[in-house]
Amino acid sequence: MSYTMMRIGKKALFKFGVFSVTLFLMGLAAVSILSPKRALVTKPKTFVELRIDPVVPQDKASRRHGERYAPRRQAQGLGPNKYLAQNISWVHKSLLGKSKHNITMEFIPKASNGNKGNASKLLRENASNRVRESAEMKVRQKQEEIRRVRNQLQNKIGRRKEEIKKLSSMTSRHVDGTCNPHGNVAYIKTHKTASTTLQTIINRFGLLNRLSFVLNKVSPTNGHLVYIPVTKHSPRYFFLPPLGVGSNDISHFNYNMIAVHLRYNRSAMDSFMLPGTKYISIIREPSAHFESAFNHFRFTDSFSPATRCRVKGHEIEEFMRRPGYYRRRLKTLQWDTTRGLRWYYARNNQIFDLGLDSKYHKDETMVNQTVDALVKELDLVLISEYFDESLVVLKKMLCWTFDDIIYISKNQRPNRVDIDSTTRQKIREWSQADTILYERFNATLWQKIKDYGPNFELDLASFRKRKDSVFQECAGESTYVHMGFLSIRRSARALTPLSSAPWSPRAKLGSSIAYGCDRRVSGTRNLKRLTGQGRGTGPMLSKPWP
């Protein structure tokens, strides 16, 4: 009986236990079903990047020491405190104290298993992002600098355009109320025709009025373009930029003045000269021109030593006895680093400078056509033998003043060779093209003098009186002959050599420089220095008009 009761009790207890467990599990299931769902959050491991950046000291030794020990360590799965505790011994404590390193830490989340990332990849991406951001910042800074410089150049170009516009119209200075002075002049400088004296006048006017000149940047000593054919592309390769214009801004290479040796090419010159430019030149009677060129270019180099001794004192007569032979010999000789250059200047040199090639000089039809074209294209051709008369006509044409055309002769030789009439006639026939050119423009000059009006003689007399007065003011009786040229003694302060006296920025109209007493204005070598073209600066006188 007792045994049976015991078995019944065990079964009941077991069933009760099973029921209790089942009830408990059902309760848990009900709670989980009825309660809001909550996602299981797993805190990912982190990477810590330890950067020890030195604060660079001032002394060189400490700076080198700090730069050498600027370590960077990376670790995965360690908290910052534990990582720092494990690795701080890796950095020498004394180093941290002396070099004053800054310790910074950066935490990078570990990639999820779905992305299958790894620590090294994330670290590389992080480093590349920093490098990219740094590069982008530098690019932005550079672009901002470029924009700033571009705006400055555009403002400068705008101001220069306005200045050129004012100078082109010359509205700021009136002479007699009826005209405005003209500041755009292209002077085709011929050889041995008193052209240097006229160049001095042009240079002085341009300098005092802050005008831009055509100057050859390739020439180490002067701005001449005598050896370089002038084309529409010449400004890009050979010209200094105008004042206020950048060297790469070719489209704004427009000039006020030309006063250097170059061969005339109207279509090319119109492309870089400002609109309304007046074209002028100067020529000389062919026999007088040949006599001057004969000495300057040393045509006697074509003589043999025996001939040179035999014809001493009659060199021109000997040359004209066999001009073709001696000219061919000049073609084989060197002059100014250029072989054969004097061959061009031994015959019809003036019309050659005005654009007609030597192969056409014997073609009378071509010569006449060229002269006809020059008469139409050139506004004025001065005649050396009537220099004062030509300057008075030039003054009226350009609406200048007498002070603008005052001059002292440059490169004037005191000793001239007397040539008999027979030799002179031979020279005129030898340089037939120059003879036609001279006769035509000589007649043209006198026609302009006739058209000048009844005041011409009065203006000519006033000009010569003013010129003599200025010469006495500048030099008095201090002239002397030096190295075959008319010069002025150093006792005249206005003519102190360039190496002895600096340029005075206080030069004003009425001073010696305005009248031409200072010889430094005559040469293009000095003009390049005074104008400042190509160096981003202007001449010493900053205002357009004194």
- Grouping H, G, I as helix, E, B as strand and the rest as coil, residue 518 is coil
Give 328-358 pLDDT, tens digit per residue: 888 888 776 666 678 888 999 999 999 999 9
Q: Which has the higher per-residue pLDDT, 427 or 221? A: 427
Q: Evaluate whether residue 308 is within a structural domain.
A: no
Instruction: Tell me the percentage of the chain whose pLDDT exceeds 90.
Output: 35
**Are residues 202 and 282 both part of a single domain?**
yes
**Are residues 375 and 513 both part of a single domain?**
yes
What pLDDT does residue 22 have? 79
For residue 339, what are the β-bridge partners? Answer: 334
H-helix segments, 399-455: 402-405, 421-430, 432-452
CA 250 to chain centre: 10
Asked whether residue 523 carries a pLDDT value surpassing 80, the answer given is no
What pLDDT does residue 499 have? 32
**Are residues 80 and 229 both part of a single domain?**
no
* Pairing verdict, β 46-54 and 72-76: antiparallel
For residue 334, what are the β-bridge partners? Answer: 339
pLDDT band at 505 (very low <50, low <70, confident <90, very high): very low
Per-residue pLDDT, averaged over 238-258, amounts to 91
Closest CA to 189 of 209, 216, 218: 216
**Are residues 266 and 382 both part of a single domain?**
yes
Task: Give helix 421-430 / helix 286-296 axis angle, nearest 10°.
Answer: 90
Q: Evaluate whether residue 513 is within a structural domain.
A: yes
Q: Evaluate whether residue 306 is within a structural domain.
A: no
Instruction: Tell me the percentage of the chain whose pLDDT exceeds 70.
Output: 62
Element spanning 108, H or E: strand 101-109
Q: How many CB atoms lie within 10 A of CB 123?
A: 16
Per-residue pLDDT, averaged over 536-542, amounts to 37
**Are residues 90 and 196 both part of a single domain?**
no
Burial class (CB in 10 A: 0-12, 13-18, 19+), 325: exposed
For residue 352, what are the β-bridge partners? Answer: none
Q: Return the structure tokens found at 483.
A: 């190295």
Element spanning 84, H or E: helix 80-87
Burial class (CB in 10 A: 0-12, 13-18, 19+), 120: exposed
Q: Evaluate whether residue 62 is within a structural domain.
A: yes
Closest CA to 379 of 184, 112, 197, 148: 184
Give 51-61 pLDDT, tens digit per residue: 444 444 444 44
Show which of 62, 88, 110 is a domain's final residue.
Answer: 110
Show which of 76, 95, 110 is a domain's final residue.
Answer: 110
Give 429-442 pLDDT, tens digit per residue: 999 999 999 999 99
CA 301 to chain centre: 39
Q: Evaluate whether residue 4 is within a structural domain.
A: no
What pLDDT does residue 475 have? 60
Give the chain's end-to-end CA distance (angstroms, integer): 146
Burial class (CB in 10 A: 0-12, 13-18, 19+), 293: buried
CA 303 to chain centre: 44
Number of structural domains, the chain?
Answer: 2
What pLDDT does residue 179 have? 84
Asked whether residue 89 carries a pLDDT value surpassing 70, the answer given is no
What pLDDT does residue 255 have? 95
**Are residues 515 and 372 both part of a single domain?**
yes
What's 207-241 look like in SS3? HHCCCCECCECCCCCCCCCCCCCCCCCHHHHHECC
pLDDT band at 501 (very low <50, low <70, confident <90, very high): very low
CA dihedral 404, 405, 407, 412 (to 10 degrees): 140
Closest CA to 253 of 279, 214, 211, 223: 214
Q: What is the extent of the structural domain holding 58?
A: 46-110
For residue 279, what are the β-bridge partners? Answer: 186
How far, CA to CA in Å, does 433 sit from each of 11, 356, 359, 372, 375? 148, 10, 12, 13, 15
Return mean pLDDT, the chain.
Answer: 74
User: Which residues does 362 contact at the CB level (< 8 Å), separation at least 6?
Assistant: 432
Residue type, 499: S
> How long is the chain?
546
Q: Evaluate whether residue 332 is within a structural domain.
A: no
The rounded distance, in Å, linking the Cα atoms of 16 and 373 is: 134
**Are residues 259 and 401 both part of a single domain?**
yes
Asked whether residue 284 carries a pLDDT value surpassing 90, the answer given is yes
- Strands, sheet with 46-54, edge to edge from the N-terminal-most edge strand: 72-76, 46-54, 101-109
Q: What are phi and psi of 341, to 5 degrees?
A: -65, -40
**Are residues 375 and 284 both part of a single domain?**
yes
Cα 518-225-156 angle, rounded to 5 deg? 75
Report the half-sphere exposure of 403 (CA within 13 A, side-chain side). 11
Q: How many CB atoms lie within 10 A of CB 502?
A: 8
Give 16-34 pLDDT, tens digit per residue: 777 777 777 777 777 666 6
Show which of 76, 110, 144 is a domain's final residue.
Answer: 110
Q: Evaluate whether residue 326 is within a structural domain.
A: no
Q: Evaluate whether residue 293 is within a structural domain.
A: yes
Residue type, 258: I
- Grouping H, G, I as helix, E, B as strand and the rest as coil, residue 186 is strand
For residue 482, what are the β-bridge partners? Answer: 485
Q: Is the distance from CB of 71 to CB of 97 less than 8 angstroms?
A: no
The rounded distance, in Å, linking the Cα atoms of 420 and 97 is: 102
The CATH code of the domain that includes 508 is 3.40.50
Q: Is the distance from CB of 445 to CB of 382 less than 8 angstroms?
A: yes
Most confident option among 18-27, 152-161, 233-242, 491-500? 233-242
**Are residues 101 and 243 both part of a single domain?**
no
Q: What are phi and psi of 117, to 5 degrees?
A: -85, 175
| pTM greater than 0.75 (yes/no) | no
**Are residues 78 and 190 both part of a single domain?**
no
**Are residues 372 and 521 both part of a single domain?**
yes
For residue 380, what are the β-bridge partners? Answer: 280
**Are residues 72 and 185 both part of a single domain?**
no
Closest CA to 380 of 454, 275, 452: 452
